[in-house]
Amino acid sequence: MREDVWHRLDLIARKILPFFVTLLLIMAAMVPLRVPLLSPVIPALPLIAVYYWSVYKPDLMPIWAIFLIGLFHDLLSAGPAGVGILSLLLVYGLVESLRRLLVGAGFLAIWLVFVPVAAAASLSTWLLTCLIETRLFDLEPTLFQYFATIAGYPCLAWVLSQLQRSLIR
C-alpha cells in the first residue's frame, strides 16, 4: 500500500517537474543582480524552457501549463499583462506547427529552428508592449536579450536534458 502511494507521488512529481522548473527559471531571471544594464542581456529563460519542453516532452508541457507560466511571468514582470502569455503561446503554436520537422532532429537542427521561433516571440513581445503602452520602445534591449537567449539555449537545453533523463529513469 505504501509503495503504491510513493509510486503515484513519484509519477506526479515527474509529470509536473517541467512546469515547476520553468516557474523557477522565471524567478531566477527576476532576481535583482544590481549590475547596471545587465537585465537586457539576461536570456529569456522561460522562452527557452517552453520551447525545449514543447519539443522534447509536449505531454509534460500542455497548453494550460504554458498559459499559467505566462501568467506567472506577467505577474512578476513589469510588462503589460498578457504579453508573456501570448508570447509563450506563440512559441507553443510554432513548435506544434513544426512538430514533424522537429521529431527525431538533432540538437543543431532544433537549435536552428529555435532561432526564428525566439525571434518571433521577442518581436511579438516588443510589438505588443508598444501597442498596449501606445508608445514606441527602443528595440535595442529586445535585440540584446534575443541574442543572449540564442546564445544561452545550448547551456539551458543541456540542463533541461539532464532533468529529462531523470524523468525517464
* 3-class secondary structure, 106: coil
What whole-number distance in Å separates Cα of residue 147 and Cα of residue 81? 24
Asked if 52 and 156 touch (Cβ cutoff 8 Å), the reply is yes
Element (H, E) at 49: helix 45-56
C-alpha cell at 85: 502569455
Whole-model pTM over 0.85: yes
Asked if 111 and 139 touch (Cβ cutoff 8 Å), the reply is no
pLDDT given for residue 96 in this prediction = 94
* pLDDT-flagged residues of the chain (< 70): 1, 33-40, 168-169
pLDDT given for residue 34 in this prediction = 67
Asked if 80 and 129 touch (Cβ cutoff 8 Å), the reply is yes
Residue 39 is given by DSSP the state: G
